Amino acid sequence: MSAAVAAEPAKVDPMYQFTIKPLAELELAGFDISFTNSAAWMLVTTIVLFGFVLGGMRRQLVPGRWQMAVEFFTSFIDDMLQANIGDAGRKYVPYVFSLFMFILFANILGLLPLGVVGLHPFTFTSHFTVTGVLALITITIVLVVGFWKHGLHFFGLFVPHGTPLAMVPLIFVIELFSFILRPFSLALRLFVAMMAGHVLLEVLSSFVIDGTNAGALWGGVVGLPSFLLMIGICALEILVSGIQAYVFALLTVFYINDAENLH
């Protein structure tokens, strides 16, 4: 599929890292559901997340470091829901926690320098098929909760209080449009942020490699500064991993709040 891209030697293709490669061909009802490197990293993320939370299940009265770390994350999500939605937000903790931790772990696992040992990490959150599905799940929950709790009053969400009667149709269209755009902004934000960081790292690494290959002078002028910049960008990317997971979870909470409490 992507062998043509990989065939060119001595050239760093910054987009190559996003290529999906099938590891085992599978088919279901006419759809190609091959187990790919992307799916493999979803599996890794699930296992690591499971292991992480399992370490926090010792239920000790005086928690150890691990248990404390897990409890920090659950309390963090719990507080976020409590602050934005109120007591009704409690029941969304499992979903928002899963979402936040799944994205966070995927982002961070995708940054691990495992390429050094020949195991190339794949950041599946840099694919809009993945972020899009997550965004659609969130919006589905918002729609289901909204119509379940408020019925047709849920459309009141698109007409803010105090809108002059003459403006209602226009405001309704604008608000509806912004609502429809929500899953796209949610999905694209995460996908673009993750892809941009990884592309930047790859481009800088090509500067390091090509600069160093061109001799000591270019290695010193281009390669070394690029390398130092890469270290900084790596730190920044770790930050972005956390922030993007947080933003995704926070926006999900805001949207669920709209459905729970309207305005």
Q: Interface residues for another protein in 26-65 (CB under 8 A)? A: 26, 28, 31-36, 38-39, 42-43, 45-46, 49-50, 53-54, 56-57, 59-61, 63
Binding status of residue 144 toward another protein by CB under 8 A: no
DSSP-assigned states of every residue in 94-107 = HHHHHHHHHHHHHH
Closest to another protein by CB, 127 vs 223, is 127
Q: What CA–CA distance (Å, rounded) separates 46 from 105? A: 9
* Exposure letters 118-138 (e unless 16+ CB within 10 A, then b): eeebbbbbbbbebbbebbeeb
Q: Which stretch binds another protein (CB under 8 A): 94-102, 113-121, 177-185, 232-240?
A: 94-102
Number of residues this chain uses to bind another protein (CB under 8 A): 56
The CA distance from 19 to 29, in Å, is 25
**217-236: contacts with another protein (CB under 8 A):** none
Nearer to another protein (CB atom), residue 98 or residue 261 = 98
| DSSP-based three-state secondary structure for 31 | strand
Beta bridge partners, 35, equal: 24
Q: Give the DSSP H or E segment for 35.
A: strand 35-36
- Helix or strand or coil: residue 15? coil
Which residues lie near another protein (CB under 8 A)?
A: 1-2, 15-16, 18-20, 22, 26, 28, 31-36, 38-39, 42-43, 45-46, 49-50, 53-54, 56-57, 59-61, 63, 67, 70-71, 74-75, 78, 93-95, 97-98, 101-102, 124, 126-130, 133-134, 137, 191, 195
